[in-house]
């Protein structure tokens, strides 16, 4: 569950788990403490006191079910360890935890596309099952866009720039960021590539969700009863 985290992240998680055990008057840290500590690190504290209305709860349930189902049926996607519609942190009304099956240091093109598909699954589920989209997918769309831009601009995974690198990583120790050096024409081609690939993947995700509509309804029904489903 902690694949990809840095040493400092792991130290914070262990410390948080120890605090959780202490608050419950236990002298040993349990597996449950560690899982809760990981979720706090990733998604923030549970906010069960934050009451969301039934309409929003329905939207969140379908949104998270969309993420979860696409992750389960897409080759190269990280599998689901948990789906929840319990609010966490400052903004999350629900969340889906995806974990790799092993530590990975490289990502292939199909795995990046799979990550884009999973990110689009939430918004697509709203469109298919609610009939209208909400503001809940803003961060998902931003991350999906960044992945596709990186594919074309940094990893040579498109015909737009071929093997030419469009974005150079600066020294991350000194403010970080990237440097972009390319023509207006290339910028326009890149915009079209990103837009067209997002549209293509979104259509594929919509089709998958319609195919598995029965499974989505089952997940949503279970979420309304229990609020959390383990992977």
Q: What residues are annotated to the active site? A: 64
Dihedral, 69, 75, 80, 85 alpha carbons, nearest 10:
-30
Compute CA distances 154 → 50, 56, 157, whole Å.
41, 38, 8
Measure the CA–CA gap between 97 and 104, rounded to whole angstroms. Answer: 17
Helices (H) and strands (E) in the chain, counts: 7, 5
Instruction: Give the residue from 132, 108, 136, 107 showing the smallest Cα distance to 120.
Output: 136
What are phi and psi for residue 98, nearest 5 degrees? -115, 135
Can you name the residues that pair with 40 across neighbouring β-strands? Answer: none
Measure the CA–CA gap between 177 and 26, rounded to whole angstroms. Answer: 45
Token pair of 166 as six digits:
């469009």
Using CA of residue 206, residue 198, residue 79, residue 230, what is the dihedral sign?
negative
Instruction: Give the residue from 123, 143, 144 showing the smallest Cα distance to 135.
Output: 123
């Amino acid at each position: 569950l902690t694949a990809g985290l840095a040493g400092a992240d792991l130290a914070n998680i262990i410390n948080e788990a120890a605090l959780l055990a202490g608050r419950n008057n236990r002298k040993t840290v349990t597996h449950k403490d560690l899982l809760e500590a990981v979720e706090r690190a990733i998604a923030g504290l549970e906010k069960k006191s934050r009451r969301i209305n039934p309409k929003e709860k329905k939207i969140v349930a379908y949104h998270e079910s969309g993420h979860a189902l696409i992750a389960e049926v897409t080759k190269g996607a990280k599998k689901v360890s948990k789906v929840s519609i319990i609010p966490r942190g400052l903004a999350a009304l629900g969340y889906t935890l995806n974990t790799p099956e092993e530590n990975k240091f490289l990502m292939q093109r199909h795995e990046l596309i799979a990550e884009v598909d999973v990110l689009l699954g939430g918004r697509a589920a709203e469109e298919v099952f609610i009939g209208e989209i909400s503001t809940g997918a803003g961060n998902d769309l931003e991350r999906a866009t960044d992945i596709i831009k990186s594919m074309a601009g940094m990893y040579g995974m498109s015909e737009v720039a071929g093997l030419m690198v469009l974005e150079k990583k600066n020294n991350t120790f000194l403010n970080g960021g990237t440097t972009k050096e390319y023509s207006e024409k290339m910028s326009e081609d890149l915009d079209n590539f990103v837009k067209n690939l997002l549209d293509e993947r979104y259509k594929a995700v919509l089709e998958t969700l319609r195919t598995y509509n029965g499974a989505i309804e089952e997940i949503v029904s279970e979420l309304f009863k229990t609020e959390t489903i383990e992977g």
